[in-house]
Copies of this chain bind each other. A is one copy, B any other.
């Protein structure tokens, strides 16, 4: 199923080719980044987004810098710019650091090899997340109804997806019947990207506004909420797209399992809890304009936090390629650490 979706990120003859997520769902086009500056711009303008995809993008960015320069100091400077292009997803800095270490050992070829490995590992991790995730899908006659927020799919990763990986594996196994897709304002990753993926994958799904989740839950129309993550703290607190926290509170109120799916590279054991996670505040125009059209009065102020933090106490399970951490996450999550 992966194969007929175009690769979200790949190396092409000296440039980083991205499936341009700004143009979806209306057109499938690619942007070729030939410099680190072009790649940083693609990252900040969300041509590529999603924590695992940002890990691969950061790593390929170091390879790009290394191929364009013989100076170690300029590669280090480029790495620093890449790592700070967006603050919340831990994978970005992690991918940059891993590729930079390979560059230090083996030069440009080393950096590219590390980036290719990160991308390949990510696809394999996501497929494992899908398999592991089968254990968190409630048994429902005819299949479960799953609600997801933002896009933690093929497009947010090097391929297959994390939260959507669980949905895909569940659908393939006959365990998921239908998906509610939160549109995910302001950038509409649900309406634009998750809808595009699920449509391409022929998984039955329906778009709703973000604020409809509560009444769907009250009506018994949601059996599971599954989302991705941008950073998971050591105690199991999760930073993810704005609105995730509200869904977790609603899921608890309705006694519906609330599950986070993410590769181990999103777990940041150096961050003790959610209070230590920097939440990116983005341009207010993302709120006051939709598709280039202004919706609010001129001069009206907007606040645009891109993420929120969901405390571990509201999370039923975190599904990784290394296994499933269940409550209490503060003990089960670090236990999955590679030895």
Q: In chain A, residues 25-43, which have Cβ atoms closer than 8 Å to a Cβ of chain B?
A: 25-26
In the complex, whether A195 has a CB less than 8 A from a CB of chain B is: yes
Is B211 touching A300 in the complex (CB atoms < 8 A)?
no
Given known contacts A211-B211, A288-B191, A290-B293, is B186 in contact with A301 (CB within 8 Å)? no
Contact of A287 among B192, B208, B297, B303 (CB under 8 A): B208
A301 near B206 with CB under 8 A, answer yes
Interchain CB contact under 8 A, B207 and A288: yes
List B contacts of A249 (CB < 8 A).
Answer: 214, 249-250, 253
Give the residues in chain B near A120, CB-CB below 8 Å.
none
Known A250-B249, A291-B291, A295-B192: A207·B300 in contact at CB below 8 Å: yes
Contact B214 A297 (CB under 8 A): no
- Kindly identify, within residues 174 to 225 of chain A, every residue whose CB is under 8 Å from any CB belonging to chain B: 182-186, 188, 191-192, 195-196, 199, 205-215, 218
Residues of B contacting A302 in the complex (Cβ-Cβ under 8 angstroms): 206-208
Q: How many copies does the complex hold?
A: 2
Determine whether A258 belongs to the interface, using a CB cutoff of 8 Å to chain B. Answer: no
A-B pairs, 9 with minimum CB distance:
A211-B243, A214-B246, A215-B308, A291-B293, A25-B297, A207-B302, A185-B209, A210-B211, A290-B290
Q: With contacts A210-B210, A212-B242 known, what are 13 further pairs, Cβ within 8 A?
A: A25-B297, A183-B287, A185-B185, A185-B209, A188-B295, A209-B210, A211-B211, A212-B303, A214-B245, A218-B245, A246-B246, A249-B250, A253-B253
- A residues at B contact (CB < 8 Å): 25-26, 149, 182-186, 188, 191-192, 195-196, 199, 205-215, 218, 242-243, 245-246, 249-250, 252-253, 284, 287-288, 290-297, 299-305, 308-309
